Chain A
Amino acid sequence: MENRKKNLRVSVSLWLKRFSIWLLPFSFLAISFFFPLSKILTLTFNVNTLTTENLQLAYRVLDFTFYQAILSTLLTLLLGLPSAYLFARYDFRGKALLRALTAVPFMLPTVAIAAGFNALLGSRGLIHTIFPLSSFVFLGTLPAILLAHVFYNTTIIIRVVGNALSSLDPKMDQAARSLGADSFRLWWNINLPLLRPSILAASLLVFLFDFTSFGVILLLGASKFSTLEVEIYLRVLKLPDLPLAALLSVIQLFCTLIFSILYAHFASRSTTQIAPRSSKSNLRKPKTLREKMFVVTFIFFLSSFFFLPLSALPLRSLFRLEADRGQRGEIQYGFTTDYYTELFVNRRSSVFYVPPIQATLNSLGYASATVALSLLLGFPAALALAKPTRLEKILDPLIMLPLGSSAVMLGLGFIISFGSWLTSPLLVPFAHTLVALPFVIRTLQPALASIPERLRQAASSLGASPFEVWKNIDLPILRRATLAAGTFAFTISLGEFGATLLISRPEYPTIPVAIERFLSQPGGLNYGQAMAMATILMALTTISILLIEKFRLPNAGEF
């Protein structure tokens, strides 16, 4: 009897403790995600919204969204699978560098990628000014969109399938060959079935990113193409019809949820099926002529495909290739730092015009607020999820749900729910935190869970007192994870485009929003400034990525 009472008291206090941990993250999610979501749902399921006309338009947009996403995924596989094979099986000089190069675009903001392709292939880009072929049109074409999608998603295939491929036992190849299988049969009957879950998982992830792609389609599609994301944006800002936007975003959320569940299913299968083993033994130097041709061709192709758009951007931002708007007389073509010095100048003293430097400062301010907010909310959640109770295991996907919903939809939800507060610049860090929170939790959680009792026990058996254990073991490990998570949040906030475009106030633009504005203006100076800002964005992001890699504990998980 005494005992039961004591147990009850213990469990009640345990629940209180758990409850207080969850209070902050959940109130945040309730206010900034689930409340807007409920608003969107009520707006959608309404007789005035579900008209034949609206549904027909939704069907048309959905049709194109699927079309471009499937096409992009297939093209990404076309490039990604041989590349994965290259990285998983061959050893060559500069491999680590090339691998890192292929991974950079994935981490870059889509605005910077769009600007990069614009700088390389656009009508005012490098290639056009060097070889003026009027018949070649890039911007506003489907290939432009597909190319950009392939550009930043190929690394997913390389990583996921490459990891699976390099963990296949080479002896299996030899066994199959000794049983009489030729190369085709070896791949068809042995390797492909074993790789299938990871290929499917990687493809679904790529598809998901293509399906929800926004910045690339808006900026490279030149408003000729409309996916769900772009259409939602248009129905909010350009041709206001909020119920229709809500309907589209519900369709979007439903689709992404289904694909996310499918992805989780295949991802779990791809990790369990292939036993982990040292991946060193699979590597070899290319020997036969055919192998050498394959390796050399692919190294050349991959390095130029990934290097050119990335380098075109800073290059283009340093050269004047066309007249500035309203500029008359002698034009000084060639090298210039004008685009950077102009960043500090307010050319037109209009209310809605903000000097680029101000946009940069806005971005940095929003990013800092996002870091603070997402760490404040992420820490308790990660702490609870590091040692989850049964109930918390169910809560976990709930926290990750904002990840499955698109940025534009989050923006729409904010507009519908907090319309009267849209004047507050506070909304932007809230939206960014919503996007960053899943990443922050996923970065902190393994670190918190990975300080196994063993490490603390080892330390105390070496003579460390409980305080010394905390100071020498817990704190340094957490500090690194916190820095990594904070930088993650910072990077995401810097590059966030979809939600920001919808909810940021005209006088407080961020870097990506300013880039979009500059790109839509005529004149060489505007274009050059867009390039300069995109270059700054790219540089800031690259530095952040390097910092994350430095802080992150090895083997702390990917994606």
Chain B
Amino acid sequence: MLEVRNIFKAYEGRPLLNDISFNVGAGETVCLLGASGSGKSTLLRIIAGLELPDSGLISFNGMDLTNTPPHLRDFGLVFQDYALFPHLNVYDNVAFGLKMRRVTQDQISERVVSSLEMVNLSGFDKRQVTDLSGGEQQRVALARALAPSPRLLMFDEPLGALDRTLREDLLNELRSILHQTNIPAIYVTHDQEEAFTIADRVLILQNGKIIRAGAPAEVWTRPESAFVARFLGLGNVIEGQVTGQQKNGEWTVESDFGVFAVRCAHKHQKGDKVHLLARPLSAENDRFERSEPTRTCRGAGVGERSRNVLQGVVSDVIFQQERFKVVFENGLYVYLSEAPKVAEKLAVRVKVECLL
């Protein structure tokens, strides 16, 4: 279906997009996830045809669209600020794309009614768009994009201007509409929760490059870089140094927070700087030790028992339904099913992963 190949784009000498390539398959929803300035919106505008790339190729079903003007691409676009036509009512807004395609009046009204029904706005056709609430306006914008049945839908932070509960409701509706219509979609957002809810595949952008791509679960389990782990808020990212050779498939890594043994396929050298991820949920609850961790955890000669242990003075315990979030004074945190006391010294065994 959609193919994006080696897109480069610079603005005033500053690279915005750096060799971007990816595909969107039939019925697939791909999410471009990144902080502001990562280039995700520029990429979307290039795919829509609103901007031209410096080099690279956009094609759909094998047909080159790189220089096709936007109105001939048949890609629907939904903006964050809705961009509804203020001089047209709801009906005429939704009918706009159909009118441009020279569809008969009967078919237009049929499509408008079914599109409005799909976004739960039946009966709104005669309303002025300026009288609608933000959520209703975004539904109209969605119906407007859906009505001509485009071959690709694009969303540019569509829920960014809405409040939280409304955002969740609309997101779920959008997800079911996308499944129902089976239209492939590209969804741009900076909100990882939104991305993981809606996407079949997530592309994480940083400084104009795709640094991680994959299904939500895959990206979640293997972030593969400190940036992604921090951006997604996966847990404690600890900086350390490899101290020795691999033993039994494990590397020993020394850090300010203790010594860790980590199993990975990377080829490290002694002295390499690495990032480790200690997920707060991996804390081994049943083995948490209330004993005073008096021994120093640094240097050689540390016993097996004190490896992969996070320890410190508890500074805060937060109840989170089925678990407690335990924050240490050194900034690390874990989730435990039993609540320790504040100011208590605590050592918790965790699993660590190597992020490179």
Q: Is A462 interfacial (CB-CB < 8 Å)? A: yes
State which residues 48-79 of B face A: CB under 8 Å: 48-50, 69-77, 79
CB contact between B96 and one of A450, A454, A459, A466 (< 8 Å): that residue: A459
CA distance A476 to B71 in the complex (A): 20
Q: Is A271 interfacial (CB-CB < 8 Å)? A: no
Q: Establish whether residues B71 and A463, one from each chain, have CB atoms under 8 Å apart when the complex forms.
A: yes
Q: Establish whether residues A480 and B87, one from each chain, have CB atoms under 8 Å apart when the complex forms.
A: yes
Neighbouring A residues of B49 by C-beta, 8 Å: 460
Q: Is B233 interfacial (CB-CB < 8 Å)? A: no
Q: Establish whether residues B81 and A553, one from each chain, have CB atoms under 8 Å apart when the complex forms.
A: no
**B74, closest chain A residue (CB):** A463
CB contact between A454 and one of B74, B76, B83 (< 8 Å): that residue: B83
Q: Establish whether residues A554 and B97, one from each chain, have CB atoms under 8 Å apart when the complex forms.
A: no
**B100, closest chain A residue (CB):** A463
Q: Establish whether residues B86 and A468, one from each chain, have CB atoms under 8 Å apart when the complex forms.
A: no
Q: Establish whether residues A468 and B100, one from each chain, have CB atoms under 8 Å apart when the complex forms.
A: yes
Q: Is A223 interfacial (CB-CB < 8 Å)? A: no
CA distance A65 to B144 in the complex (A): 58
Q: Establish whether residues B83 and A460, one from each chain, have CB atoms under 8 Å apart when the complex forms.
A: no
Q: Establish whether residues A454 and B85, one from each chain, have CB atoms under 8 Å apart when the complex forms.
A: no
Known A-B contacts A463-B71, A473-B85; the reply to A457 vs B50 at CB < 8 A is: yes
Chain B nearest CB from A337 CB (Å) reads: 41
Neighbouring A residues of B97 by C-beta, 8 Å: 462-463
A 518-559 binary contact with B (CB < 8 Å = 1; else 0): 000000000000000000000000000000000001110000
Q: Establish whether residues A452 and B83, one from each chain, have CB atoms under 8 Å apart when the complex forms.
A: yes
Q: Is B148 interfacial (CB-CB < 8 Å)? A: yes
**A464, closest chain B residue (CB):** B100
State which residues 439-476 of A face B: CB under 8 Å: 450, 452, 454-455, 457-466, 468-469, 472-473, 476
CB contact between A457 and one of B70, B100, B144 (< 8 Å): that residue: B70
Mostly, the A contact residues are: helix
B 86-97 binary contact with A (CB < 8 Å = 1; else 0): 110000000011
Neighbouring B residues of A452 by C-beta, 8 Å: 83
Q: Is B130 interfacial (CB-CB < 8 Å)? A: yes
Known A-B contacts A462-B97, A468-B100; the reply to A457 vs B130 at CB < 8 A is: no
CA distance A458 to B138 in the complex (A): 13
Neighbouring A residues of B85 by C-beta, 8 Å: 455, 458-459, 472-473
Task: Count chain A CB atoms within 10 A of each CB in B72, B77, B86 and give the residue with the most.
Answer: B86
Q: Establish whether residues B83 and A458, one from each chain, have CB atoms under 8 Å apart when the complex forms.
A: yes
CA distance A460 to B74 in the complex (A): 9
Known A-B contacts A462-B96, A463-B101, A554-B130; the reply to A454 vs B79 at CB < 8 A is: yes
Q: Establish whether residues B130 and A460, one from each chain, have CB atoms under 8 Å apart when the complex forms.
A: no
CA distance A455 to B83 in the complex (A): 5
Neighbouring B residues of A460 by C-beta, 8 Å: 49-50, 69-71
Q: Establish whether residues B76 and A462, one from each chain, have CB atoms under 8 Å apart when the complex forms.
A: yes
State which residues 141-169 of A face B: CB under 8 Å: none
CA distance A124 to B50 in the complex (A): 69
Q: Establish whether residues B100 and A553, one from each chain, have CB atoms under 8 Å apart when the complex forms.
A: no
Q: Is A107 interfacial (CB-CB < 8 Å)? A: no
Task: Count chain A CB atoms within 10 A of each CB in B97, B101, B130, B154 and give the residue with the most.
Answer: B97
**B95, closest chain A residue (CB):** A462
CB contact between A458 and one of B79, B101, B128 (< 8 Å): that residue: B79
CA distance A465 to B68 in the complex (A): 12
Chain B nearest CB from A470 CB (Å) reads: 12
Chain A nearest CB from B102 CB (Å) reads: 10
Neighbouring B residues of A465 by C-beta, 8 Å: 69, 71, 100
**B101, closest chain A residue (CB):** A463
CA distance A463 to B150 in the complex (A): 10
A 268-290 binary contact with B (CB < 8 Å = 1; else 0): 00000000000000000000000
State which residues 129-149 of B face A: CB under 8 Å: 130, 141, 144-145, 148
Q: Establish whether residues B48 and A464, one from each chain, have CB atoms under 8 Å apart when the complex forms.
A: no
Q: Is A477 interfacial (CB-CB < 8 Å)? A: yes
Q: Establish whether residues B87 and A461, one from each chain, have CB atoms under 8 Å apart when the complex forms.
A: no
Q: Establish whether residues A555 and B130, one from each chain, have CB atoms under 8 Å apart when the complex forms.
A: yes
Q: Establish whether residues A461 and B96, one from each chain, have CB atoms under 8 Å apart when the complex forms.
A: no
CA distance A79 to B130 in the complex (A): 32
CA distance A192 to B148 in the complex (A): 53
Chain B nearest CB from A34 CB (Å) reads: 37
Q: Establish whether residues A461 and B77, one from each chain, have CB atoms under 8 Å apart when the complex forms.
A: yes
Q: Establish whether residues B77 and A458, one from each chain, have CB atoms under 8 Å apart when the complex forms.
A: yes
CA distance A179 to B211 in the complex (A): 51
Known A-B contacts A477-B86, A553-B86; the reply to A461 vs B75 at CB < 8 A is: yes
Known A-B contacts A457-B48, A457-B50, A457-B70; the reply to A462 vs B83 at CB < 8 A is: no
Task: Count chain B CB atoms within 10 A of each CB in A455, A461, A463, A480 and give the residue with the most.
Answer: A461
CA distance A454 to B71 in the complex (A): 14
CB contact between A464 and one of B71, B75, B130 (< 8 Å): that residue: B71
Known A-B contacts A464-B96, A472-B96; the reply to A457 vs B83 at CB < 8 A is: yes
Chain B nearest CB from A230 CB (Å) reads: 44
**B96, closest chain A residue (CB):** A462
**B92, closest chain A residue (CB):** A472
CA distance A450 to B154 in the complex (A): 24
Chain B nearest CB from A510 CB (Å) reads: 34
CA distance A460 to B71 in the complex (A): 4
Q: Establish whether residues B96 and A457, one from each chain, have CB atoms under 8 Å apart when the complex forms.
A: no
CA distance A79 to B270 in the complex (A): 83
**A278, closest chain B residue (CB):** B133
CA distance A455 to B88 in the complex (A): 12
State which residues 191-235 of A face B: CB under 8 Å: none
CA distance A401 to B154 in the complex (A): 47
**A555, closest chain B residue (CB):** B130
CA distance A553 to B101 in the complex (A): 28
List B residues at the A interface (Cβ < 8 Å): 48-50, 69-77, 79, 81, 83-87, 96-97, 100-101, 128, 130, 141, 144-145, 148, 154
The 9 closest A-B pairs by CB, nearest first: A462-B97, A461-B77, A463-B100, A454-B83, A458-B83, A460-B71, A554-B130, A460-B70, A464-B100
List A residues at the B interface (Cβ < 8 Å): 450, 452, 454-455, 457-466, 468-469, 472-473, 476-477, 480, 553-555
Given contacts A472-B85, A480-B87, 8 further A-B contacts (CB under 8 A): A454-B83, A458-B84, A458-B144, A461-B154, A463-B148, A468-B71, A468-B100, A555-B130
